Amino acid sequence: MVDSNASSGSPEETPNPNPDGNAPSESDVTLDALARKVQESLSLGQKHKFWETQPVGQFKDLGNSSLPEGPIEDPTPLSEVKQEPYNLPNPYEWITCDINSEEMITEVYNLLTNNYVEDDENMFRFNYSKEFLRWALHPPGYFRSWHIGVRVKTSKKLVAFITGVPARIRVRDNVVNMAEINFLCVHKKLRSKRLAPVMIKEVTRRVHLENIWQAAYTAGVILPTPVSTCQYWHRSLNPKKLIDVGFSRLGARMTMSRTIKLYKLPESTVTPGFRKMELHDVPAVTRLLRNYLSQFIVAPDFDENDVEHWLLPKENVVDSYLVESPETHDITDFCSFYTLPSSILGNQNYSTLKAAYSYYNVSTKTPLLQLMNDALTVAKKNDYDVFNALDVMHNESFLKELKFGPGDGKLHYYLYNYRIRNELKPSELGLVLL
């Protein structure tokens, strides 16, 4: 259910090569486009032996309008689902990870911090905090059996990890119980052992045991077959640091002082009634969010428990703000972002890049541009270095205007055992996976 060729089922963080909007030379653009086309054709041309055995959309079926939308394979009777775990190579054994245990979460944290997603230049690596991992893996109705580790039998060292959490995801008019698969990570020294496919099969088996037959996942590489392909955009909040660590570069004919001035934000938010979300706001935010998400082809089906878990502010994990009308006290608008720092590799002055990731944003009365500028303002005030956003939902409408620059990687969304006939535009997608 996740990429079997890389260490991750998560978005790659991609430095912004052109933060100031100064166009690269024509020859750079042409070469870059050519290199990308060659790379993509090579990716598509490769045989995905593992994925060709799975109930996922296949490249050979692209454009075949006779295939029905919906589940690709029917559920198996639960009595026929394999009851025993898949076999691992002899030196390794399965464990179920208790994320509530301080000892266990420390092991998982260390494995991910040292071996999880890096950018193409090996300059940055995701650094999910322990609090973030507990939040991400303990939504309402979670299954502990879906938090899966692989240990070395002799040393008991944790060397691989994969997780699933339950989610209700609406595809057009059908609400489908799914697993969201994430955190597929194999220790760097074991990448040749082909552990990833057996881990994917094992998490699939455990998901099936709960009578769930579909899943959603993302990857930075092309597999059979994306339901949508999105791009990350980056907004500098601390441009000097981003340039110092190589995340972005000084634009042509730009000085550092001009760059700092370009990205300057207001000292405080401008929208009357803009405040942090609180527990008593959960019903109003749920109504606002459900109404907004109903317009997208694929989106989560959130209830109040989900909104309380995923969107109620948690320090250094998730931040949510709303606009309460000073006159009517109605909740009219909402914005949120989660915190995902990256380790900075090999820099003497800095070890961590503090990044905010746009989550769910709803604008009904306040213009989205103004709402997101307020979100940038509070992120800057809280010492974030960069604010990242995918071009999903209505995000495209504010990216350029608010001085976001496009990253150099794509994020591909996938559904397991569920076919969507035509690839969705990012603006038709209402789903953000961590």
Q: Which residues are catalytic?
A: 434
The Cα–Cα gap between 106 and 102 comes to 6
The Cα–Cα gap between 29 and 257 comes to 27
* 258 half-sphere exposure, CB direction, 13 A CA radius: 8
Nearest to 232 by CA among 39, 386, 67: 386
Nearest to 196 by CA among 2, 393, 417: 2
**Range list of H helices, 263-314:** 282-293, 304-311
The Cα–Cα gap between 197 and 303 comes to 33
**Contact status, residue 148 vs residue 202, Cβ threshold 8 Å:** yes
Torsion (CA) 332, 265, 359, 309 in degrees, nearest 10: -70
Full DSSP string of 305-351 = HHHHHHHS-BTTTEEEEEEE-TTT--EEEEEEEEE--EEETT-SS-S
Strands of 352-353's sheet, edge to edge? 124-126, 342-344, 352-353
Give me the phi and psi of 364, to 5 degrees please: -120, -40
The Cα–Cα gap between 321 and 429 comes to 22
Name the burial class of residue 326, with classes exposed (0-12), middle (13-18) and buried (19+) by CB atoms within 10 angstroms of its CB. Answer: exposed
**Contact status, residue 10 vs residue 232, Cβ threshold 8 Å:** no
Contacts of 325 (CB under 8 A, 6+ apart): 273, 331, 332, 365
The Cα–Cα gap between 127 and 10 comes to 12
Contacts of 249 (CB under 8 A, 6+ apart): 17, 18, 19, 243
